[in-house]
Amino acid sequence: MKKLLLILAMLLVTPLAAQDNLPPAPFAYQQLEDPELEAMAQDLMITLRCLKCQSQSIADSDAPMAGDMRHQVRTRIAAGEEPEAIREWLIQRYGDYVSYQPRVKASTWPLFAIPALLVLGAILVLRGRLRKAK
Amino acid sequence: MIAEFGLAALWLAAALAGLQLVAGFMGMRDEDEVLARLARPAALVQALLCGLAFLTLLWLFARTDLSVALVANNSHSEKPMIFKLAGAWGNHEGSMLLWVTVMAVAGGLIALVERRLPERTMLATLGAQAFVGLGFYAFLLFSSNPFERLNPAPGEGNGLNPLLQDIGLAFHPPTLYFGYVGLSVAFSFVVGALLTRQVTPEFARVMRPWILGAWVFLTIGITAGSYWAYYELGWGGWWFWDPVENASLMPWLAATALLHSASVLASRDALRAWTVMLGVIGFSMSMVGTFLVRSGILTSVHAFAVDPERGSFILALLAINIGGALVLFITRASTVAEGERFSILSREGALVVNNVALSAVLGIVLLGTLYPLLTEAFDVRVSVGPPYFNPVSAIFVLPMLVVLAVGPLLRWRKDSFARIRMPVFALGIIGLLVLAGVLLTSTIDILPLLGLVLAAVVMVGSFLPLRGRSLRRLPLAVWGMVIAHFGAGVTLFGMASDTAFQQERLVAANAGDVVEVGPWQAVLEGVIPVAGPNWNAMEAQLPLTYDGSEAGEARPQARSFWSPPQETSEIALVTRWNGQLYVGVGNQTEDGRWQLRLWWKPFVTFIWYGGLLIALGGVLALLGRLSVDVRRRVAVRKIADRKEDEAAFVQEAGA
């Protein structure tokens, strides 16, 4: 049983390993000529998660997959796509997990509601202190 | 036999913690004086036994006793001695033993020297300390025994991973643990004060050195961790809002808030409930941090669910300690009489802003760290990263920094704006000048822009409290405050400057090619193979010029380790007073060129200089407080001696 699992696991791993052996895509390690476009790409890349790393953006990683994603981002920016459209495309492909910038939706609203409550709470506490002093 | 000796010492220490618990809490209720007298000695002996158990573990690692499972799994006879010893706490069981040991030694120290508080409060504190300690003893003895034997003993150990033989990696975790444990002591004082209804300025003064100590260790730990990530990960980032980083940041935020509110309580007898609450939160965050790092939940929520023993244990301890403390707080909060009042325009008012802001940031970091784990449990994966943490925490951090620059100028209790009008205008003008200067010379994002402005304001503002005071007679603690605040400005300046002005060049270069980044010019002279003790590397040689004049050489390497096989990038750093050049070399492209990555990071080093300044400020404040305490003790003893002498003299005269 264990051997079978091992073989299955290896079958699963092979395509990935093969992918890792390919040379990196051209724009994985190369910047765009136009500094403005490159800055735009950079701003987007630091907000995209490297799916194979621990808490690194694709702009911070040596992982081949991060390199491929950088290539995608740079070529699409160069082709004139809007950064948010590229983010959208990546999210459709890899899920919300790929974007470090959570959007307000059914599964994420507490991330925005709680800070708003914190702001309110902070104001109330400070106002309370102010009034007491009088 | 040695391992069994260690285990026996650990069991005995646990038993003494039990005795300390009973003696402390019974003594507190004035039920049993004989028992009460046992609490302090029990704490002392417990510290000795626990220390002995830890020394035993060190000894086992030094001898590489492979019949002990922990040694066999984490050590190797060929390791250098320093890494053999560091291996003792570089794993789950050993690090928990270190935690318990530091905690027991801290308890012993309190029992030995602390005599300022009412004895009942001290007994309750020692009881609370023993209660927290017992939970960790149980954790060690029942689910993480470091002295477990392995039979048959293997011929050689498993722990020769050269990547883990890093001096920074060896001392980083204990630094954070010292911080965590310091907060556990503050927690015990809080519980003791609540139980005996003695939330007094004296209580804050007694607790303060422990908070300061914990805070210094946490500051150093975070600063070092950030620099380590910066040079090790190879892409120039210094903070990733990684859950492991957040696990150390959250206790630091709580400790910073606690430090400030405790100083209000100590000087002005105000903010009693706040201080108590923050004491509870501080230790909660330490336990949350330990839970995050130790339970394996970060690798995957599902992996944690498969083997939840350790994580559940820590979670249970967390629930018992914190839940208990919160219930105690709620039931006693009403009896903690409201402290002294103050106007919002006062030192206390400024510190309230500091407390509220730090607590809110803490809430945001906690939310952003735990929320993805929570949704992952329901198979919804979301990422919360820098684009969330940076702006959301800035909502609170930016106003707090404004208050930081002005607050120390204010008087206690009540002040008038007219008195501080001049320095506030001066700071405002400095801020506007920086704002105008930056806006005229460059276009940068709003957050780094505000960061630069506030950094200047904070750096100048931090020295204003020295105005009109005799520098030679200034208490050490005030120096500590000034330097720590200045350090905060320095760190902020480094962060903002690097974010706003860093320049990046990624190129594929042939030998002889010139790469320019910012004021730097690098020539790729060649790439040569280099061999190390357990790795091969390709080393790029790049002579450098800065603004046209020669500026040394960068030699980054792409290393391949062979056991275990792993590729790492050893970046080259060239440090100048105004920043760092960060150079990495990658793979060779198909046409024979080399991937080079260069960053010019203006003033990035100030991030860590600032961190060290903050820690230095903490150390000065700690020394200041302790020396005042020692002087007072000496004075008290002298007075007592003199009284005795006088009494004796009077008696003699009478006779």
The DSSP line for B626-641 is HHHHHHHHHHHHHHHH
Chain A positions touching B368 (Cβ under 8 A) are 111
CA distance B648 to B654: 10
Are B385 and A100 inside 8 Å of each other by CB? yes
Mean pLDDT taken over chain A: 80
- Partner-chain contact B352 A95, CB within 8 Å: no
Residue A113's pLDDT band (cuts 50, 70, 90): very high
What B509-514 contacts at long range (C-beta under 8 Å, 24+ apart), as own/partner pairs, is B509/B593, B509/B594, B509/B596, B510/B592, B510/B593, B510/B594
Whether ipTM > 0.85 holds is no
- Is some CB atom of chain B closer than 8 A to the CB atom of A102? yes
Cβ of B629: how many Cβ atoms within 10 Å? 16
Q: Which residues of chain B are within 8 Å of residue A57 when distances are taken between CB atoms? A: 237, 240, 385-386
Question: What's the one-letter identity of residue A49?
Answer: R
Cis status, amide bond into A115, omega within 30 of 0: no
Q: Is B337 exposed, middle or buried (0-12, 13-18, 19+ CB in 10 A)?
A: exposed
Beta-bridge mates of residue B558 = B538, B569
Judged by CB atoms closer than 8 Å, whether chains meet at A47 and B567 is answered as: no
Q: Which residues in chain A are contacts of B244 at CB distance < 8 A? A: 55
Q: List the end-to-end C-alpha distance of chain B, in Å, as a whole number.
A: 65
Least CB–CB distance from A101: residue in B244, B349, B387: B387
Inform me whether the C-beta atom of residue A107 falls under 8 Å from chain B C-beta atoms: yes
pLDDT of residue B133: 95
CA angle B360, B364, B367 (to 5 degrees): 135
Q: How far apart are the CA of B189 and the nearest CA of chain A, in angstroms?
A: 26
Q: What is the end-to-end Cα distance of chain A in Å, rounded?
A: 77
Q: How confident is the model at residue A14 (pLDDT cuts 50, 70, 90)?
A: very low
Across A91-115, average pLDDT: 89
Task: Tell which residue, B477, B478, B447, has the closest CA to residue B464.
Answer: B478
**Does any CB of chain B come closer than 8 Å to the CB of residue A133?**
yes
Whole-angstrom distance, CA of residue B452 vs CA of residue B439: 11
Residue ranges of chain B whose pLDDT lies below 50: none
Sequence-ordered list of residues with C-beta below 8 angstroms from that of B529, at least 6 positions apart, any chain: B536, B537, B538, B539
Q: Specify the amino acid at residue A28.
A: A
Count CB-CB contacts under 10 A for residue B432: 12
Task: List all residues 6 or more positions away from B551 whose beta carbon is below 8 Å from its beta carbon.
Answer: B520, B544, B545, B574, B576
C-alpha–C-alpha distance, residues B467 and B451, integer Å: 25
Nearest-by-Cβ selection for A100 from B234, B386, B396: B386
Return the residue of B nearest to A29 by Cα.
Answer: B506
A42 touches chain B (CB under 8 A): yes
Q: What is the pLDDT of residue B330?
A: 87
Chain A residues 11-30 with a CB less than 8 Å from chain B: 23-24, 29-30
Do residue B386 and residue A57 have CB atoms under 8 angstroms apart? Answer: yes
CB contact under 8 A, B356 and A125: yes
Is the peptide bond between B564 and the residue preceding it cis, with omega within 30 degrees of 0? Answer: yes
Of residues B464 and A11, more confidence is placed in B464
Query: Which residue type sits at B586?
Result: G
Tokens, residue A1 = 């049983």
Q: Please name the member of A23, A24, A114 whose beta carbon is closest to the beta carbon of B367.
A: A114
Q: Kindly determine whether residue A129 and residue B344, on different chains, have CB atoms separated by under 8 Å.
A: yes
What pLDDT does B565 receive? 78
Helix H or strand E segment including B509? strand B503-509
- Taking the Cβ of residue A123 and every Cβ of chain B, the question of whether any pair is shorter than 8 Å is answered with no
How near does any CA of chain A get to the CA of B366, in Å? 11
Phi first, then psi, for residue B506 (nearest 5°) are -115, 120
A97 vs B contacts (CB less than 8 Å): 381-383
Q: Do A102 and B505 touch (CB under 8 A)?
A: no
Strand extents, DSSP E, B216-293: none
Taking the CA of residue A72 and the nearest CA in chain B, the distance in Å comes to 16
Tell me which chain A residue has its CA closest to the CA of residue B357.
Answer: A122
Of A23, A55, A132, the CB nearest to B243: A55
Torsion (CA) A64, A70, A75, A76 in degrees, nearest 10: 120
Task: Determine whether the interchain pair A126/B569 forms a contact, defined as Cβ–Cβ distance below 8 Å.
Answer: no
Residues of B in contact with A114 (CB under 8 A): 363-364, 367
Report the residue from A98, A118, A129 with minimal CB separation from B360. Answer: A118
Looking at residue B174, its pLDDT comes to 87
Closest in A60, A98, A101 to B233, CB measured: A60
The sign of the dihedral angle between the CA atoms of B433, B434, B436, B440 is positive
**What is the band of A23 on the pLDDT scale with cuts at 50, 70, 90?**
low
Cα–Cα distance, A69 to A73 (Å, whole number): 6
Q: Which residues of B touch A126 (CB under 8 A)?
A: 344, 352-353, 356
Chain A residues 75-94 with a CB less than 8 Å from chain B: none
Residue partners of B577: CB distance under 8 A and separation at least 6: none
Which residues in chain A have Cβ-Cβ distances shorter than 8 Å to B507? 30-31
Measured distance CA(A63)–CA(A28) in Å, rounded: 10
Helices (H) and strands (E) in chain A, counts: 5, 0
Interface mutation vs chain B, best among A36, A105, A129, A132, most B CBs within 10 Å: A129
Contact B388 A101 (CB under 8 A): yes
CA dist B563 and B536 (Å) reads 11
Q: Which of B75, B72, B228 is nearest to B161 (CA)?
A: B75
The pTM for the full model equals 0.92
Closest Cβ–Cβ partner in A42, A47, A110 for B385: A47
Q: Which residue has the higher pLDDT, A26 or B72?
A: B72
B544 CB contacts (<8 Å, ≥6 apart)?
B520, B521, B522, B550, B551, B552, B553, B554, B574, B581
Contact B353 A110 (CB under 8 A): no
Q: Is A115 on the interface with B (CB under 8 A)?
A: yes
Cβ pair A60:B240 closer than 8 A: yes
Closest C-alpha among B408, B409, B417, B413 to residue B343: B413
Contact A62 B234 (CB under 8 A): yes
Q: How far is B264 from chain A (nearest CA, A)?
A: 15
Q: To which H or E segment does residue B325 belong?
A: helix B309-333
Contacts of B506 in chain A (CB under 8 A): 29-31
Chains A–B, number of C-beta pairs less than 8 Å apart:
123
Torsion of CA B315, B319, B325, B331, to 10 degrees: 170
Handedness of CA B130, B132, B133, B138 (dihedral sign): positive
Contact at CB, B385 and A31, closer than 8 angstroms: no
CA–CA–CA angle B136, B326, B348 (5° rounding): 115
For strand B549-554 and strand B526-531, is the pairing parallel, antiparallel, or unpaired?
unpaired
Closest CA in chain A for residue B414: A133
Query: How confident is the model at residue A13, as a pLDDT?
Result: 42
CA distance B344 to chain A (A): 5
Closest CA to B318 of B162, B118, B411, B184: B184
Backbone torsions φ then ψ of B574, nearest 5 degrees:
-115, 115
Query: What pLDDT score was predicted for residue A8?
Result: 46
For position A17, what pLDDT does the model report? 41
| Min Cα separation B257/chain A (Å) | 14
Neighbours of A108 (CB within 10 A): 19
For residue B124 the two structure tokens come to: 């309750």
CB within 8 Å: A62 and B567: yes
Work out the minimum CA distance from B425 to partner chain A, whole angstroms.
Answer: 23
